[in-house]
Amino acid sequence: MATLNSQIPAGPLSDKWEKHKFSSKLINPANKRKYKVIVVGAGLAGASASATLAELGYEVHNFVFHDSPRRAHSVAAQGGINAAKNYQNDGDSVHRLFYDTIKGGDYRAREANVHRLAEVSVNIIDQCAAQGVPFAREYGGLLDNRSFGGAQVSRTFYARGQTGQQLLLGAYSALNKMIGAGGVKSYTHSEMLDLVVVDGHAKGIIVRNLQTGEITRHSADAVVLATGGYGNVYNLSTYARGSNVTASWRAYKRGACFGNPCYTQIHPTCIPVSGDYQSKLTLMSESLRNDGRIWVPKRKEDCKKNPADIAEGDRDYYLERMYSAFGNLAPRDVASRAAKYVCDEGRGIGDTGLGVYLDFGDSIRRLGEGKVRERYGNLFSMYHEITNEDAYKTPMRIYPAVHYTMGGLWVDYNLMSNIPGLFVLGEANFSDHGANRLGASALMQGLSDGYFVLPSTITTYLANVKAGGRPATDRGEFKQAEEEVRNFTRRVTSNNGKRTPDSFHKQLGKIMWDYCGMARTETGLQKAIQLIGDLREEFRTNVKVLGEPDGLNQPLEKAGRVADFIELGELMCRDALMREESCGGHFREEYQYTPNDPEVQQGVVNTGDVKRRDDQFAFVAAWEYAGAPDKAPILNKEPLIYEEVKMSTRSYK
Amino acid sequence: MNLLQRVWRSSLGKKYLMALTGLALFGFVVGHLVGNLQVFGNPELINSYAHFLKSKPGLLWGARLGLLATVAVHVGAALTLSAANKAARPVAYAGGSAYGSSWRSRYMLVSGLVIMAFVVYHLLHYTVQLPAVNGGLDFHSLTTRLADGTQVQDVYAMMIHGFQVGWVSLFYLIAQALLFIHLGHGLSSMFQSLGLRNHVWGPRIAAFAQVASFAVFLGYASIPVAVLTGMGGDYVKNLKKAPTTTIETLR
Amino acid sequence: MKVSLKVWRQKNANAAGEFKTYASPELNPNMSFLEMLDVVNEELSNRGEDPIAFDHDCREGICGTCSLVIDGKPHGPHKGVATCQTYMRSFSNGDQIVIEPWRAKAFPIVKDLVCDRKSFDRIQQAGGFISVRTGSAPDANSIPVPKENADLAMDAAQCIGCGACVAACKNASAMLFVSAKVSHLGLMPQGQPERYKRVKAMVDQMDTEGFGACTVTGSCEAVCPKEISLDFIARMNRDYAVALIQGDPKQVVGGGAG
């Protein structure tokens, strides 16, 4: 069993971070340059961490598999970033952001981490504004805000529909500054393929250069993973095609615990699937729900009709009906599940019957087409480009799609995993969003971890490591890790298989979506575990990778990633099976409110809402690798103790 | 590095030089045109103007050397930039190229080089007055007297005779057409190179470039066209009988 | 629908490349261009042929990874979109489509349709930032930015760094890219202290990388998936002229010893 100590500082919640920073050890500036830190990933978390650590004087080596750090998938976030600035004077505060995040996460996140996130949020906006991030502004020149993703205050800062790209360019510019100044050495086209653990501490990585195929060893005093989420396990998702779990997964196989893998966020407003060739689902910004109304026909017979021919009275604005207080702005998990329900009832629209309308008719009548165009023009044209439909004239068709993974490598309050010296930031860790993430909070967490949390918590570890004492790369652990990487490459390129990695990925994605998607059942999950086990075996014997291992070989890259996704998929199903409750993005059909429940009768929740079981499942599931892919992983539990907030039934009625 | 080195060593610096020398050359083109258009007046008008210029050799040679230097910088920058530009795209596209580019912009080098060749010819023709480039007529022999009795070169007659030669006029018109192309792009892009353009002034500058380049073309082209359609025909015919000119050489 | 593809194949950076023609399998007009290539590649793989290497990642037009010159136009026939947002309905049954990589000395080809755009990173490392240390920032609202400037800066900042401007330009010039970066920061009050130093450093690095010069042909603007305006080039030229005239700043010796 792994030892999990969350290292949460004692004392009142709002003083913990301040106190912790003070009690952390410092490293004298002359010594800092003797420490080398490897950062894998250059999204919001990785780029901001690399830049900040280098500013502090550490020797930083940054690795990305992309051709440029600017292409990390943080770039694609559209909506915005939350911060408890209360510039709008609408009652926001650090405490309210903290509370909303805890509640939004369905009481499955750590209080101390979330409070720190809310505290730091205000510094992020300052930092980004100073870097020149072109946030939206009011005519007076001050920052504009909007309400977003189920929040009742306007605390979201944004930059048109591409806040992610703008924040990433800010972090990337900070990274560039430090690369230019020599503080960061940047390795592009470099995919981490293994973690090297020496005497129980993370001390290096094995990297394959994707352009040349060269495999190299890198040692360091600490390793930071900021490698993003694993939603591509579903094949079809809003993730970039290259997003993968490999770095996290190899760390898991070296002993790092994987926290809450089954917590997946399904985003309600994506463009529906159109065919089996599909490679990618496109998200339409959630901001559309501010002015669009979601509906399906009341009667199944109307589903194939032209929406314009369905009378107002024959439409079911189901979110407004079910969640009158939040209406179309209900949180993501709630809105997604509601869409699934109405489609399961046979009232879905479009060719596949898996879609609902997002209608701007009312807004266009109320605000005029010009205003709607001004607010959402880029999204409407993107929708038109993809579907060839004009959303000013006919309602958009949307359906939920996998968008974010709340689970990830387990970390303590210092963002260190249970392998000393291995830190995990951003979406790659499990820590801040519980079982469901609120809109505009991912960017906040990535930057919080990278700019403010890690640079201060990493000293707790480094101060106890001898400066300049990192191991040489000719040690046995490095050699062995490199050999394992080479073995995999050799095996898949010489395998006389029949199927491409892509075809395995598609098959895995279908299993995951069917049995471990928006709704999960015990029998379904058991079946999925069986199917995935078979798939893993078939992959081993029947995968086909053409071309040479030297030089650019995209199928080879894909093979490694898919192999890891297959194993991860199984772990997700095991986690979902173990968690006999529903919470946030994890919905077990066996655990939902029924008309007999008092909460339904009192009108707090709806029939079909998620039913948590706090008495048994208020813990973080931290899974530990048992040494072989076919051995059942070991479950470690970190209890979730709520000192400040009372766990209650999440109600958006 | 001093300023000149900094400017010459940077691609943008060279673009500034192109723009500034281009502007100066445009100034010359306009000034020259205004001078030439006097051909439409009384012959005395242009002849006395030409005489005035020739009577100030310091000014004339200063201007000539200045222009030569300007042309040298303009062409030197153009050739070095264009070599660098070619080197930047070592392999051409098979599926077509230069999508969305304005057609004039693609012919700047070729139009510039042809114009330069024309300028050399034009100088030999009217400045050096080489009989060989003008069907054999020696312009030096054409003289006339101004009203005050000063004996001067008969520039008016030179122009009429010159443009009465069909291929001379044709070459001239081709060169003017290329100048029209060259200026139509150059006049607006010089503002872009110098950074004197924004979303408000951009369209205005583009319109100015169209109008100005076309006006220059009309102005210059009007002279050979007028000559070919008969202007000054009588003057040179009469000239053949006048005692002050050496009519024998006019064959 | 079916199309035939004339694709540039090149084994590696040093090998000579050539065009090869492939017939596509049956396609759905609602496929994206990249999904069409996926389908073709799946078929090639099943036949035992090396699939066509091409760059792609987000497939929603923001990461700037995808490239491809399609029938002579970077990012395909439509305006204001990237290759990943180009759909097969833009082509007709039986079309022959010519697919080439970005071609520029500063973007060497790695394999097939994949080129290396590190030169863009190096330009930004030379000066594409505002030197602000983490933690040293004043309150965000203490720096008001006129809305017009913020909007204009945002217009420039939309650049996704794909390199289509370079690919389209007959001179393989990176002026639109560099000017977008320079203008974004130069338009913000935060960017003023380093404004001239920045433009000088970035343009000089651009020259060093071997990009061509701007002859204002307008190709870059025409193919830019974010429709970034040529006006930014003028803005950069203005700033660079000032930087050139100012010359290098005075070197300060000594410091705060004692």
DSSP line for A315-339: EE-HHHHH-TTTGGG--HHHHHHHH
- The residue of chain A with its CA nearest to that of C47 is A498
The answer to whether residue A443 sits within a structural domain is: no
| One domain, residues A397 and A506 | no
Q: Tell me, what's the pLDDT at A3?
A: 86
Cβ-based contacts of A73 with chain C (< 8 Å): 57-58, 63
- Residue A225 forms part of a structural domain: no
Structure tokens at B72: 């040298």
Distance CA A261, CA A621 (A): 8
Asked if residue A596 is part of any domain, the answer here is: yes
A293 and A396 together in one domain: yes
pLDDT of residue B241: 56
Gap from C171 CA to chain A (nearest CA, Å): 23
Closest CA to A65 of A86, A43, A32, A37: A43
Please report which helix (H) or strand (E) contains residue C147, including its range.
helix C147-157
pLDDT of A161 > 90? The answer is no
Shortest distance, CA B241 to any CA of chain C (angstroms): 55
- Residue A557: CB atoms within 10 Å: 20
| End position of a domain, from candidates A376, A402, A428 | A402
Instruction: Test B3 with C244 for CB contact under 8 angstroms.
Output: yes
Q: How far is CA B3 from CA A283, A440, A443, B104, in A?
A: 52, 50, 46, 32
Domains of chain B: 3-88+102-250 (1.20.1300)
Q: Is residue C254 scored above 90 in pLDDT?
A: no
- Residue identified by tokens 């910004």 is A285
pLDDT for res C129: 98
Residue A28 has pLDDT above 50, yes or no: yes
- pLDDT, residue B247, reads 40
Q: Which residue has the higher pLDDT, A542 or A146?
A: A542
Q: How does pLDDT run across A8-21, given as a tens digit for each residue?
A: 999 999 999 999 99
The answer to whether residue A420 is domain-embedded is no
| A410 is a domain residue | no
Residue to substitute from A189, A212, A280, interface C, most C β-carbons within 10 A = A280
Per-chain mean pLDDT for chain A: 95
pLDDT band at B248 (very low <50, low <70, confident <90, very high): very low
Give A303-315 pLDDT, tens digit per residue: 999 999 999 999 9
Cβ of C103 within 8 Å of Cβ of B100? The answer is no
Answer yes or no: do C137 and A127 touch at CB < 8 A.
yes
Q: Could you list the active site residues of A?
A: 332
**What is the band of C256 on the pLDDT scale with cuts at 50, 70, 90?**
low
Q: What is the CATH number of the domain that holds A608?
A: 1.20.58.100
pLDDT at A561: 98
A228 vs C contacts (CB less than 8 Å): none
Tell me what pLDDT residue A653 has: 78
What residues 118-137 of chain C have any CB closer than 8 A to a CB of chain A?
118, 120-121, 124-137
Tell me the chain B residues in contact with residue C69 when contact means C-beta distances shorter than 8 Å.
Answer: 93, 95
Residue type at B132 in one-letter notation: A
A82 alpha carbon, distance to own chain's centre: 16
> Which of A130, A242, A502 is nearest residue C138 as measured by Cβ atoms?
A130
One-letter amino acid identity for A592?
A: Q
Strands A396-405, A356-359: pairing is antiparallel
Question: Taking 80 as the threshold, does the pLDDT of residue B88 lie above it?
Answer: yes
- Chain B: give the shortest CA distance to residue C136, in Å: 34
Q: Find, in chain C, the residue whose alpha carbon is nearest to that of A160.
A: C154
Residues of chain C in contact with residue A186, where contact means CB-CB under 8 angstroms, are: 121
Q: What domains are there in chain C, each with its CATH number?
A: 4-111 (3.10.20.30), 118-246 (1.10.1060.10)
- State whether A611 and A518 are in the same domain: yes
Task: Give percent of chain C above pLDDT 90.
Answer: 95
C31 interfaces chain A, CB cutoff of 8 Å: yes
pLDDT of residue B137: 80
Examine the pLDDT at B42 and tell me if it is beyond 80. Answer: yes
Same domain, A480 and A358: no
Residues of B in contact with C203 (CB under 8 A): 10-12
In the complex, which subunits touch B with 3 or more CB pairs below 8 angstroms? C
Determine the residue among A44, A52, A70 to mutate to test chain C binding: the one whose Cβ has the most chain C Cβ atoms within 10 Å. Answer: A70
Report the pLDDT averaged over residues A566-592. Answer: 97
The answer to whether the Cα torsion of A549, A551, A556, A561 is positive or negative is positive
User: If we measure between CA atoms, which residue out of B116, B114, B131, B126 comes closest to residue B36?
Assistant: B126
**Mean predicted confidence (pLDDT) in C55-61:** 96
ipTM above 0.90, yes or no: yes
At B188-227, the pLDDT tens digits run: 999 999 999 999 999 999 999 999 999 999 999 999 999 9
The pLDDT of residue B240 is: 64
Choosing from A402, A421, A446, the residue where a domain stops is A402
Average pLDDT over residues A463-488: 96
Q: How far is A240 from chain C (nearest CA, A)?
A: 4
Residue A240 has pLDDT above 50, yes or no: yes
Is B138 or C107 the better-scoring residue by pLDDT? Answer: C107
* Measured distance CA(B26)–CA(B217) in Å, rounded: 12
The whole-angstrom distance between residue A140's C-alpha and the CA centroid of its chain comes to: 35
Domain end position, chosen among A384, A402, A420: A402
> Do the domain assignments include residue A143?
no
Q: A43 near A73, Cβ under 8 Å? A: yes
**Contacts A382 to C, Cβ<8 Å:** 60-61, 85
pLDDT above 80 (res A249): yes
Q: What is the pLDDT of residue A326?
A: 86
The per-residue pLDDT for B251 is 35
Average pLDDT of C107-129?
98
Q: Do chains A and B touch (3 or more CB pairs under 8 A)?
A: no
Q: For residue range C18-38, what is the model confidence (pLDDT) as tens digits?
A: 999 999 999 999 999 999 999
What is the total count of domains within chain A? 2
Confidence of residue A375 (pLDDT cuts 50, 70, 90): confident
Give B157-192 as a DSSP string. HHHHHHHHSHHHHHHHHHHHHHHHHHHHHHHHHHHH
Greatest CA separation for chain C: 79
Q: What is the distance between the terminal CA atoms of chain B, rounded to a whole angstrom?
A: 60
Question: Is the residue at A430 inside a domain?
Answer: no
Q: Mean per-residue pLDDT for C219-224? A: 97
Task: Report strand pairing: A258-259 vs A156-157.
Answer: unpaired
Instruction: Give me the mean pLDDT over the A233-246 stretch.
Output: 97
Name the helix (H) or strand (E) containing A190. Answer: strand A190-198
pLDDT of the residue at A17: 98
Residues A285 and A373 in one domain: yes
Determine the average pLDDT of the residues in A447-473: 96
The answer to whether the CB atoms of A135 and C150 lie below 8 A apart is yes
Average pLDDT of span A545-574: 96
Q: Quick check: is A138 in a domain?
A: no
Q: Kindly identify which residue of chain A lies nearest to residue C150, measuring between CA atoms.
A: A134
Residue B243 confidence (pLDDT): 46
- Say whether pLDDT at C72 is over 60: yes
User: Distance (Å, rounded) from C-alpha A363 to C-alpha B122?
Assistant: 69
CA A239 to chain CA centroid, nearest Å: 9
Q: How many CB atoms lie within 10 A of CB C224?
A: 27
pLDDT at A244 over 90: yes
Residue of C nearest to B93 (CA): C72
> How remote is the C-alpha of C54 from its chain's centroid?
15
Rounded distance between C-alpha atoms, residue A623 and residue C114, angstroms: 39
Q: In this structure, are residues A550 and A212 in contact, taking their beta carbons and an 8 Å threshold?
A: yes
Q: Does A589 lie in the same domain as A492? A: yes
Q: Give C182-195 pLDDT, tens digit per residue.
A: 999 999 999 999 99
Mutate to test the interface with B, among C8, C166, C171 (most CBs of B within 10 A): C171
pLDDT at residue A170, rounded to an integer: 98
Q: Is the pLDDT of residue A79 over 90?
A: no
* Shared-domain flag, residues A495 and A372: no
Q: In the numeric block, which tokens belong to residue A497?
A: 């298989």
What digits encode the pLDDT tens for the residues A183-203?
999 999 999 999 999 999 999
The pLDDT value recorded for residue B246 is: 45
Residue span of the structural domain in which A366 resides: 267-402
A354-378 burial code (b ≥16 CB/10 A, e <16):
bbbbbbbbebbeeeeeeebeebbeb
Percent pLDDT > 90 in chain B is: 80
Residues A284 and A374 in one domain: yes
- At B1 the pLDDT is 63
For position A480, what pLDDT does the model report? Answer: 97
Q: How high is the pLDDT of residue C125?
A: 98
Interval A276-312: pLDDT, tens: 899 999 998 888 998 999 999 999 999 999 999 999 9
Q: Are residues A483 and A607 in the same domain?
A: yes
- Distance between alpha carbon A230 and the CA centroid of its chain, in Å? 7
Residue A565 and residue A72: Cα distance in Å, rounded? 19
In this prediction, residue A334 has a pLDDT band, given cuts at 50, 70 and 90, of confident
CATH number for the domain harbouring residue A331: 3.90.700.10
